[in-house]
Amino acid sequence: MGMCGRFAAELDYPEIAQILHAQPSAGLPGKSWNVSPTQTIAVIGQDAHGVNHLASAYWSLIPPTAESKKLPYPTFNARIESALDRPTFAQAARHNRAIIPVSGYYEWTAERKPYYFHAKDNRPLLLLGLYSWWLSRERANATWLLTATILTRDSVGIAAQVHDRMPVLCDPQHAQEWLDRSVSGDKILPEASAYGARLSQSLLASHEVAPLHGDGPELTEPYDEMMLRF
């Protein structure tokens, strides 16, 4: 699994909507502790009228020009350093920026040991991302599909002990500027990456977990505590 390819989403949507001044949509995904690419996730994005929305999205960004949902390369992550230069992500990076709330995310060492990263106080993590609308013509009736990707950067702090990349973190104080479609991407992406690095060093905690199988809150429990049960 690639960088930031699994996360947990034990989320209180009304609370997140209130914190990020967003209007929640119907049909948001249920709780899961093993969310993987191409599944439905919750994202916050801003519309053309400056209104924030909390909505469901397909986790893997599909650019508007794509003819099929199945792309020849993975798009569940995008490097924040190059997003503005990549045709797949450039349009979204300029104006369609998103926040993906998670309760924590998983990463693997080179030896394939999984670790769970979460906030020290267990508040939801706000991951920076991008969104794109894609017109699906795979069925008789064309439908619009909201799609999204999670932005990553070079790891710092405890995250660097596990993997060389990490998701870019945000906080509620900086979320509105990130979502603001009138703010140019070339201005805000470098600033957001630098701030995310500083935030992660004070916010993140981590512990090793058992190999991920199935779904349930036990997936986020420390590996050594689970072993004591046997």
Which backbone phi and psi does 132 adopt, to 5 degrees?
-150, 140
Residue 136: what pLDDT? Answer: 83
Q: Give the pLDDT band of residue 1 (cuts 50, 70, 90).
A: very low
Is residue 222 situated within a structural domain?
yes
Is residue 51 situated within a structural domain?
yes
Is residue 2 situated within a structural domain?
no
Model-level pTM? 0.94
DSSP string, 142-191: -EEEEEEEEEEEE--GGGGGT-SEEEPEE-HHHHHHHH-TTS-HHHHHHH
Is residue 54 situated within a structural domain?
yes
The CATH number covering residue 170 comes to: 3.90.1680.10
> How many separate domains does the chain show?
1
Note the pLDDT tens digit of each residue in 152-208: 999 999 999 999 999 999 999 999 999 999 999 999 999 999 999 999 999 999 999
Domain extent for 13 = 7-227
Note the pLDDT tens digit of each residue in 15-65: 999 999 999 999 999 999 999 999 999 999 999 999 999 999 999 999 999
- Dump strand ranges (E) for 16-70: 22-24, 32-35, 40-46, 52-59
Percent of the chain with pLDDT over 90: 89
Is residue 1 situated within a structural domain?
no
Is residue 69 situated within a structural domain?
yes
Is residue 114 situated within a structural domain?
yes
